[in-house]
Chains A and B, each alone.
Chain A
Amino acid sequence: AQSVTQPDIHITVSEGASLELRCNYSYGATPYLFWYVQSPGQGLQLLLKYFSGDTLVQGIKGFEAEFKRSQSSFNLRKPSVHWSDAAEYFCAVGSYGKLTFGQGTILTVHP
């Protein structure tokens, strides 16, 4: 069965600093990979997705993620974080029409 691990429960960065959120997956075939973001008390919004092709994918709000098959990773990055990026971020893998989510990483942004 597929699984997703987000090793960092909570990350704190300063506004303007770069950001990398880690995601590792376990899946037998070529994975469909996703990053979702959740503002406090709200639903989730899709940031970006990887199905195939170029391993560096661009998403909304200036985020990007890189798929590395050799490391079973799909890390999310942003070159310069804004205070409005404070939220919880979820990595997910898709199979058989369903999503399996990681535990989430809470991002705190200091001014």
Chain B
Amino acid sequence: DGGITQSPKYLFRKEGQNVTLSCEQNLNHDAMYWYRQDPGQGLRLIYYSQIVNDFQKGDIAEGYSVSREKKESFPLTVTSAQKNPTAFYLCASSTQTDSYEQYFGPGTRLTVT
């Protein structure tokens, strides 16, 4: 079965710690995306990558970092510089030619205390 895997589903961290969220896809998609979801605010784009070893900032990249060393993987690091890291994080992927039809993973809920 092809799809997107995000792990873990729930993640708890202490303030001041960096944390990395995993995203893996076996859909053979070139493009991958990270979104942050907060209640009543919809989804906001953090970073996206259209090809291996290249990525671009989205609308709310401050306090986050990413890497794209493999086509299948697009991990997101939430750094201690992110002021309000507690949120639901969604990873998605798409083909390059149909970038608006995005396939989403189940999400990771990060709680920082």
Contacts and interface: CB of A to CB of B under 8 A. Distances in A.
Interface string B2-46: 001000000000000000000000000001000000001111110
A12 B109 CA distance: 26
A34 B90 contact: no
Contacts of B42: 4, 90, 101-104
A43 B45 contact: no
A83 interface: no
Contact of B100 (A4, A32, A43, A103): A32
B106 A99 contact: no
Interface residues of A, number: 22
Interface residues of B, number: 22
A43 to B, nearest CB: 3
Interface in B82-109: 90, 92, 99-102, 104-107, 109
Interface of A: 4, 9, 32, 34, 41-46, 49, 90, 92, 94, 97-104
Interface of B: 4, 31, 40-45, 48, 50, 58, 90, 92, 99-102, 104-107, 109
